[in-house]
Structure 1
Amino acid sequence: MNTGRAAIAVAAVSLIALTGCISGKGGGSGAANYPDGALNYIIPYSPGGSSDPAGREFSRMLAEELGTTVVNQNLPGGDETIGTSAILSAEPDGMTLGFAAPSGLIIQPMLKDLAYEDKGYTPISKLAFVPNALLVGKDSPYRTLDEFIAAAKDKPGELTIGTTSNTSSNTFTAYALEQQADIAVTMVPFTGGAGEAVLAAISGEIDAVVAATSAQLGLIEAGDLVALAHTATPEYNKVLPGAVSFEEAGLDIPLGGHYLTVAPAGLDEGVEQKLVQASKKVVESAAWAKWCENNGFLPDPMAGTELDEWLAQQTKLSADMLERAKSRTN
């Protein structure tokens, strides 16, 4: 894969997915002694959050595959932009990598001027996908997706769905449900994050919440939350007994937490190839698949041209959802 490629252009929306930088690419001579020390792996989320464990486990396995160690650095804040900026502003020597998601790489640069917007980046590999789920409290009168949709049709605008911000994947999931199911609901953003929204759903303060499944498995297993539907394929039903995939309900909502490992633009070609190959071994391994299964994630290995195309698709999807959010709040 060519790390010196220009950023992916998505003509349909005239927007850019920053997947690389033209200048600064090496010729491959730096790989012989790589890595020559511990990796620095930046995670743009708080320690112990729903996403943090995946970044830590992947980086541990990657370092082991490369024959070295890793130091994890959590840099939360700014809707992922603080950590993402630190990753992309690092020296392009392959020693600093990071955990990333489309929200920080693609969506935030569409919303604001950022220091890293023109820097580009080197995508190493896609790691995993965490489905979003439509969840209700244990005392909710709605026990199925069909019941929830029927109630929303009967009472337009009265049912409430908790989300975390106007531009999060859980909000986009709720918007897509509203649009495709032809219902009208009231979105309730919680500045305290998904945990606060989930507690509101459990207490009955709101009718439902859309949240990443991985962080809510304990509450679901304890019976405090009931999952009605999720954004994965029907195979994920075994993780959320009683729930259905939106796909089974005839809805196309492929949204959730998509996680990648990225590096600064301008990596030496040999270093990049070494990183991509090592990452590929990790994310295609039985050990990674098992870890994902135990923690509510789905392994989603992807690299090279396939990953570039996926990033372009995410750019268009993000632009479409932002337009939806804009029209919804106007």
Structure 2
Amino acid sequence: MTTPLLRRVGSVAAVAALVGTLAACSSQSEPGAYPDGPITYVIPFSPGGSSDPVGREFARMLGEELGSRAIVENLPGGDQAIGIANVLTSDSDGQTLGLATTSGLVVQPIINDNLGYTGRDDYDPLVKMVTGPYGLFVPTSSPYETLEDFISAAKSQPGELRVGTTARISDNSFALFTLEDEAGIETTMVPYPGGAGEAVLGALGGQIDAVVATASGQMGLVEAGDLRPLAHTGPTEYNTFLDGTPSFEELGYDVPFASQFMTIAPPGLSDETRQAITDASLAVVNSPEWIEWCESQSILPDNLNGAELDEFLDKADEASVRALELADSREG
């Protein structure tokens, strides 16, 4: 499938590929040039999980772009905190990089004082590669055909509708809290420690009325006619993945949460090393190969770096603080 995203990459990808090729040639000919052998790419999730492929595919392509190879190391635990801490305590030579999302980088430092990292000064965000929107899903047997149906029911029955998430403090629960605040409704959130798959089974089995989960992970059930998406986070561009289902934003609700994947490094990289990694990363995320791979996974390629990435992280911090306030008010 050729999309507007894919058509836009022609000249950018060609230039980025040339930059990457020159960098690779330089690294092979100059003593001490970056990289000095294989790089380690830490993924703070379990092997085979829904987030693992993003890190593995990006690491593979990044290694090739650098004229080297990337060795993937999975270090799950602590909502990414173990893997992220491993990256941030590595030498600042660019030989160890890692995958992270806003949940690990932004939320965990707010709620956990014992991480070993507290904020932007403790890590170097290099590039954002992917957005994975969340969706609000109901079983196809549900009486709710649209988001407005769901909201109307929630307004008429405060606290009666039960909505599954993966945890009380998670980006998908933040999406639910924010929707409640935006729409002026109250539901009962039901965290499923077994993850989105368990929550979806709860919805299909009638234990809950709806579920907020990563949209890409539910495509099979949507296509099979078991789940109905009512709305999704992220841009309107994602509508085509969900057969025209609108975004929350289109419907008038600001719900700024999704699975946002970034590559990070320890602070203190030399300017030359940081530039080499950034150039190679941009070559990857602007390439037709990366864009096609993302589309095959039902996620959106999303290239941010530099000042734009800093601004994104600032906004993510503000949104997360607000969502935590909403979560606390629910317990008050």
TM-score, scaled relative to structure 2: 0.87
CA distance in 1, matches of 2:331, 2:48: 32
CA distance in 1, matches of 2:238, 2:168: 27
Report the counterpart of residue 161 of structure 1 in structure 2. 163
Aligned partners of 1:139 and 1:204 also within 8 Å: no
Gaps of 5+ in 2: 1-29
1:45 deviates by: 0.9
Report Cα offsets for 1:245-299 as digits up to 9, x if no partner: 1112111112111110000111121111100111011111111111111111111
CA distance in 2, matches of 1:49, 1:140: 29
Name the SS for the 2:72 alignment partner: strand
Q: Equivalent residues in 2 for 1:1-330 (5 A)? A: 33-118=33-118, 120-330=122-332
1:222 deviates by: 1.6
Name the SS for the 1:244 alignment partner: coil
Aligned-residue sequence identity (percent) comes to 50
Distance change (3 Å), C-alpha of 1:31 and 1:95 = farther
Gaps of 5+ in 1: 1-29
Aligned length: 301
Letter in 2 for 1:127: M
Letter in 1 for 2:205: S
Report the counterpart of residue 13 of structure 2 in structure 1. none
Letter in 2 for 1:106: V
Letter in 1 for 2:110: M
Aligned partners of 2:39 and 2:95 also within 8 Å: yes
CA distance in 2, matches of 1:267, 1:122: 8
Name the SS for the 1:270 alignment partner: helix
Aligned partners of 1:31 and 1:274 also within 8 Å: no
Name the SS for the 2:93 alignment partner: coil
Aligned partners of 1:97 and 1:261 also within 8 Å: yes
Letter in 2 for 1:176: T
Report the counterpart of residue 19 of structure 1 in structure 2. none
Letter in 2 for 1:40: T
Name the SS for the 2:180 alignment partner: helix
CA distance in 2, matches of 1:151, 1:246: 17
CA RMSD of aligned residues (A): 1.5
CA distance in 2, matches of 1:40, 1:117: 20
Report Cα offsets for 1:123-161 as digits up to 9, x if no partner: 110111110000112322212111111111121110011
CA distance in 2, matches of 1:146, 1:209: 16
Name the SS for the 2:242 alignment partner: coil
Aligned partners of 2:109 and 2:115 also within 8 Å: no
CA distance in 1, matches of 2:222, 2:246: 14
1:31 deviates by: 9.1
1:115 deviates by: 3.9
Find runs of 4+ consecutive structure 1 residues off by over 3 angstroms: none
CA distance in 2, matches of 1:158, 1:242: 28
1:32 deviates by: 5.1
CA distance in 1, matches of 2:220, 2:68: 34
1:206 deviates by: 0.3
TM-score, scaled relative to structure 1: 0.88
CA distance in 2, matches of 1:31, 1:236: 46
